Chains A and B, each alone.
Chain A
Amino acid sequence: MNHNHPVFTDNDPQSELVTLNLGPTHPATHGVFQNVLQLDGERIVSGVSTIGYIHRAFEKIAEHRPFYQITPLTDRLNYCSSPINNMGWHMTVEKLLNIQMPKRVDYLRVIIMELSRIADHIICNTIIGQDTGATTTFLYLFQFREHIYEIFEEVCGARLTTNIGRIGGFERDFNDIAFTKINKFLKEFPIALKEFENLLTRNRIFIDRTAGVAEVTKETALEYSWTGPLLRATGVDYDVRVSDPYSSYQDFDFDVPVGTSGDIYDRYLVRNEEMWQSVRIIEQAMVKLKTEEKGIFHADVPEFYLPPKQEVYNNMEALIYHFKIVMGEIDAPKAEVYHAVEGGNGELGFYLINDGGRTPYRLHFRRPSFVNYQMFAPMSEGMLLSDAIINMSSMNIIAGELDA
């Protein structure tokens, strides 16, 4: 019987090394990760990662689903920021179909995507605090994740696995309560984030635990194809929102924060600064929305945009389009397209090959957690076990995205 995961058994009674199975389920790892570590005292000598515990074969399932049914699959990749995945997928299909989106829809999308980025970074940064022993920060900032989820609830009805929007826009316009909640969030969140920073950024214990730990050079990070906050913490200013702007990100004025040494402290600072920048982007989007014509929440592409149910039952064209979309009969060009968005953890890419069938011929997700995580075991060598734990939290590896 083969075992996918190597189990070290030390038969040498003189050996000083201890084998530790960190995971698959371990309270300190926040997800299903197995790492078999060889320890010399508290230092890690070598480690082997095993992944795949929640592999659900999304790429295979996607080959059997019409485009609109793939959105719920993307929810379950990085489930801490589902809307980014949903919209990344919608934009991939829109790119394939050459759909031009109205500016208002782009701005609404930007608001939702930046809110999810904040939610994602809140999780990661508060968890770093939690793992270094500061439960207060975790409990304090986490309520704002709840507020973000309330906004999502107002827009699409769901909280975690949002299935937000449709190919071609949103299923309904934002209501007034949603805008009120966004404005309330923009007013309250900066105060709480400032307090959160006051608790951790100059905190002696926190700095001692994180500064200089798990340093990564630019060259190594690029060699291992790191993206997102991890790459930026090493000092490379690569952000898909800037290098390949999508959803009108070029209309916004924001900074891309970079670190210097790539250690855990830098990653924390980069994520914090990104939350400030996201707030800035949302504020700008709210201003831009005022000049846009109200009531536009989807592109005018009836052959690709799922019509509202009322119309399906009362209007022949809507019924026809509804039938064609649901049965996967839309006329999509036979082509292949790669579209990337800046997810919470880095470049989230969709590689879609369409052969004119009812479903994608092939769909591949370029998942940042999967690519980033491969360096965890090599970089843990020589590290203290407790440092490896916070290193893992600061990499923000999401099991759903890791295993797809």
Chain B
Amino acid sequence: MEETTINNDIHVKLTEKFGEKVTAVSEPYGLLTFVTYKDVIVNVLLHLKNELKFNFLTDITAVHYPGKDHGIAVVYHLNNMVERVRIRIKVFISEQDPTIPTATTVWKGANWMERETYDLFGVKFEGHPDLRRILNMDDLGVHPMLKQYPLEDPNRVDKKDEFFGR
């Protein structure tokens, strides 16, 4: 897909700074999306915040892709309010060792977003000041948004995708 000029600028600047640590750049529905790694994520966020004017942290969440090497994607949405640009950053981390440095050092508002992600996906944000569950009770024992936990009785057969040709 053709990159718009402003997204292209950001892409060029990020590649200059972080080289091959910025990969898989795409632009679905006009939103610049790239993948980076957990050893540089805080630097990337700081660079975006301080140099490229992405002053606002919209959201942090995660996605679970079971069966892959790095099966949990932590997704950040940032917003540059002045130039009206949004950006999406993904970091893939391993399911066995779901750790990633915290973004609370960059934005204080990341606190509850990371607690929610920890609660639902078990992502451990290293350096987070207060990493407790937030929506579920502490003795739940599992991180319910992971795909291995079914919503309904797994013995039900009437809702399986294979019956619908998928």
Stretch at the interface among A99-107, A203-211, A312-320, A349-357: A349-357
Chain A min CB distance to B126 (Å): 20
**Of B29, B75, B111, B144, the contact of A57 (CB 8 Å cutoff):** B144
**Of A61, A63, A224, A340, the contact of B108 (CB 8 Å cutoff):** A224
Contact A335 B139 (CB under 8 A): no
**Of B29, B59, B135, B139, the contact of A52 (CB 8 Å cutoff):** B135
A236 to B79 Cα, complex, angstroms:
14
Contact B135 A2 (CB under 8 A): no
Chain B min CB distance to A67 (Å): 15
**Of B28, B64, B133, B166, the contact of A337 (CB 8 Å cutoff):** B28
Chain A 324-362 per-residue mask, 1 if CB under 8 angstroms from chain B, else 0: 000111000001111010000001010101001110011
Stretch at the interface among A8-16, A120-128, A192-200, A364-372: A364-372
**Of B63, B75, B81, B145, the contact of A60 (CB 8 Å cutoff):** B145
A136 is an interface residue with CB less than 8 A from chain B:
no
Q: Interface residues of B: mostly helix, strand, loop or mixed?
A: mixed
A51 to B161 Cα, complex, angstroms:
35
Contact A351 B59 (CB under 8 A): yes
A279 to B33 Cα, complex, angstroms:
38
B112 is an interface residue with CB less than 8 A from chain A:
yes
Contact A225 B61 (CB under 8 A): no
Q: How large is the interface on A (under 10, 10 to 19, 20 to 34, 35 or more residues)?
A: 35 or more
Contact residues, A134-190 vs B (CB, 8 A): none
A95 to B28 Cα, complex, angstroms:
11
A228 to B164 Cα, complex, angstroms:
43
A244 is an interface residue with CB less than 8 A from chain B:
yes
A374 is an interface residue with CB less than 8 A from chain B:
yes
Contact A3 B138 (CB under 8 A): yes
Further 8 A-B residue pairs, CB within 8 A, beyond A4-B137, A4-B138, A224-B107:
A2-B138, A57-B144, A63-B151, A64-B151, A336-B28, A349-B58, A358-B164, A364-B61
Residues on B facing A (Cβ under 8 Å): 28-29, 31, 33, 55-59, 61, 63-64, 75, 77, 81, 84, 86, 88, 107-113, 116, 120, 132-139, 144-145, 151-152, 159, 161, 164, 166
